[in-house]
Amino acid sequence: MGEPYRVMTVCTGNICRSPMAEVVLRDRFGSAGLADRVVVDSTGVSDEEEGNPIDRRGRTVLAAHGYVVDGAHRARQVRSADVAGRDLVLAMTSQHARALRRLAGSDESGPGTSDAGRIRMYRSFDPSAPGVGAEGDERALDIADPWYGGAADFEECLAEVEAAADGVVAFVREAIGAGASDRSRS
């Protein structure tokens, strides 16, 4: 078996949205029998939360929905080498996507994708998400930062993350050529 397929989720401080998406995607890749073929991690565009664990409200909501959240997560800032070293980079907002494109050295801004499809809006994988607006405006796909809110905001964030997760898994399965027989290996 070759190198694993590498997926990175990215938000602002790497304590709410992106680590929640990381946990959900790890769970979904595990359920799909792809845990040994796909590596998922997360980062933030800012260094303001560097070293901090996932927000306690995010941990609480994830645990309430049956996700296993270990205490190993520590927030870190994304670097250009991180973007270059991933097969799929999933931005939580259009602002994050722009920052990632700058790090990748690409100003390409197509509807929901860039850098040959490696940098994508996370919600672009949600079949019920709103479409990209006029002239490629990706803001309709933004996942709002729950940090400023309460439990309901973290629930909404998780719902949006979960709604796109199966689409991410299907995309990666196709990219690595994993067929239905791989699903039974879990």
99-142 pLDDT per residue, tens: 999 999 864 444 444 454 799 999 999 999 988 766 678 999 99
- The pLDDT of residue 132: 74
Q: 22-33: per-residue pLDDT in tens?
A: 999 999 999 999
On whether the CB atoms of residues 90 and 172 are closer than 8 A, the answer is no
Tell me what pLDDT residue 1 has: 61
Q: Which of 181, 154, 170 is nearest to 23 (CA)?
A: 154
Task: Please report the domains of the chain, with CATH numbers, ordered by start residue.
Answer: 5-180 (3.40.50.2300)
Order of all β-strands in the sheet with 38-44: 38-44, 5-11, 88-91, 119-121, 113-114
Report which DSSP code applies to 132: P
Q: What average pLDDT does the segment 16-27 reach?
A: 98
Catalytic positions: 11, 17, 145
Q: Above 90 in pLDDT, residue 97?
A: yes
Query: Left (φ > 0), alpha (ψ -120 to 50) or beta: where does 44 sit?
Result: beta
pLDDT at 106: 63
Whether 168 and 34 have beta carbons less than 8 Å apart is answered as no
- Res. 184: pLDDT tops 50: no
Residue range 50-89, pLDDT digits in tens: 999 999 999 999 999 999 998 899 999 999 999 999 999 9
With beta carbons less than 8 A apart as the criterion, state whether 168 and 6 touch. Answer: no
- pLDDT (0 to 100) of residue 167: 98
Backbone angles phi, psi at 44, to 5 degrees: -130, 155
pLDDT of residue 38 exceeding 90, the answer is yes
Catalogue the E-assigned strands of 98-142.
Answer: 113-114, 119-121
